[in-house]
Amino acid sequence: MQLVEADLFTWRPPERYDFVFFSAWLSHVPPQRFAAFWALVADCLTPDGRVFVIDELPAVAAVERPAAAQPVPAVHREVAGGQVFRAVKVLYAPDELQGRLDALGWKADIRTVGWRYFSTSLRRRRRSTC
Ligand SMILES: C[S@@+](CC[C@H](N)C(=O)[O-])C[C@H]1O[C@@H](n2cnc3c(N)ncnc32)[C@H](O)[C@@H]1O
């Protein structure tokens, strides 16, 4: 196994993978980077590669501290020691996420897990050859 520490918005995959997994990450991708991020995921995959994603549902907003007047949806997060940071936090309703992924050529099977989480298995929709 190889561990790489990198900025995912500039990192390029050195090879293709059968499987890509990320949890508690998609909600931190700024909306304007959503399409480019999913293009990166596609570039990481072998032709039959699969993706599995876990993240949080909009109901989580009730237990977050929204940051007002930000250029992207964001929340305040306090770390040990009391410092407070802003974190991008985009909470997609399953239907909305499904629509956005569909528009980018992904086939996603989104399932909710309790009130807080969703999980989804994804693959690239095959392009028509005719
Ligand atoms: C909510 S945490 C989730 C961590 C892990 N998936 C888990 O479930 O424990 C989000 C992670 O994204 C990382 N992160 C934030 N911006 C990043 C970036 N531009 N490139 C790579 N990682 C980033 C943070 O350091 C943090 O570890």
CB 90 within 8 A of CB 70: no
CB 105 within 8 A of CB 124: yes
pLDDT tens, position by position, 48-83: 999 999 999 999 999 999 999 999 999 999 999 999
The response to whether residue 25 sits with its C-beta less than 6 Å from ligand 1 reads yes
Alpha helices in the chain (DSSP H): 34-44, 94-103
pLDDT tens, position by position, 96-117: 999 999 999 999 999 999 999 9
Which residue has the CA at smallest separation from atom 17 of ligand 1? 7
The response to whether residue 11 sits with its C-beta less than 6 Å from ligand 1 reads no
Q: Where are the domains of the chain?
A: 18-60+92-124
**Whether this model's pTM surpasses 0.85:** yes
Domain 18-60+92-124, what fold? Rossmann fold (3.40.50)
**Residue 25 alpha carbon to ligand 1 centre in Å:** 6
**Which residue in the block uniquely carries the two structure tokens 């990198």?**
6
